[in-house]
Amino acid sequence: MSNRTDEELIKIVTVDSGKYQELALETAKKEIELRNIDQDRFKEVAEKVEVEKQKLEKVENKTVHSKIRFLNFLIDFILIFILYNLIIPNLETLLPLTNQISRAIYRLTSFIIFVTTYYIFFEHKYQKTIGKIITKTKVVNLEGEKAELGDIISRTFCRFIPFDRFSFFFTRNGFHDAISNTKVIKDN
C-alpha cells in the first residue's frame, strides 16, 4: 500500500472498501495514519471519490442493452448499404477498372473507407449515428462525457474485428466499446 497515492488509499477505505479483504483495508488504514493525512484532506478526497462513483453509476445505469445495440447496427448497416450502392457504382464508372480483381479491390477499399467515414463523422460530430438517433442513444466516454476524436477513431476501427457484432451477446459492452473506453447510453 505504500506505493499508492493518498487518493487511492482513501478510496480503498471508503467507497471501494467492499472490494478489498480485511487485511488490505487494515494495511491501507495504517498507511493513512503513517502519512498523517489530515481529516480535511480525507473528507475532501472522500467526497470527490463519491461524486465520481455516482457519476460512473449513472452512466452504467443508462448503458443500453444488446438488443438496442443490435438494432442500431441493423439500421446503420441498412443505411450504409443503401448509400454505398447509390454512390459507389456511379464513381466506379469514372475509374479505369479493367478486370474483376481491380474492381473487387476498389469495392472493398471504398466500402471500408465509406463505413469508417460514416461512423467517425456522425459519432464525433453528433455522438450518434442515424441508428442511434432513431433509438435515442448516444456514444460517450466512461465518464459520460463526449468521447474524444481518438476514442471514436479507435472505436470505428475496432468494428472491423471479426465477431465484434457478436461480442454484445456475451458482454454488455462489445469489443469496440471495451477497447476504445466508450459506452452507448440512453440519450435524454
What does each of the 188 residues of the chain score in pLDDT, given as a tens digit?
A: 778 888 888 888 887 888 888 888 888 888 888 888 877 877 888 788 888 888 888 888 898 988 898 899 999 999 999 999 998 888 878 888 778 888 888 889 999 999 999 999 999 999 999 999 999 999 999 889 999 999 999 999 988 988 877 776 677 677 888 889 999 999 97
Q: Give ∠ CA 170-175-179 in degrees, rounded to 5.
A: 140
Nearest to 139 by CA among 114, 171, 81, 149: 149
- Predicted pLDDT of residue 121: 97
Rounded Cα–Cα distance for residues 9 and 3 (Å): 10
Alpha-carbon distance of 38 to 40, in angstroms, equals 6
The contacts of residue 41 (CB under 8 Å, 6+ apart) are 6
C-alpha–C-alpha distance, residues 183 and 62, integer Å: 9
Query: d(Cα 138, Cα 132) in Å, to the nearest integer?
Result: 6
**Residue whose C-alpha is closest to residue 187's, from 120, 148, 146, 132:** 132
Rounded Cα gap, residues 10 and 5, in angstroms:
9
* Biggest CA pair distance of the chain: 77
How far apart, in Å, do the first and last CA atoms of the chain sit?
A: 41
| Residue pair 4/16 in contact by the 8 Å Cβ criterion | no
The pTM of this model reads: 0.75
What's the confidence (pLDDT) of residue 115? 96
Task: Please report the pLDDT score of residue 43 as a whole number.
Answer: 81
- Please check whether residue 123 is in contact with residue 156, taking contact to mean a CB–CB distance below 8 angstroms: yes
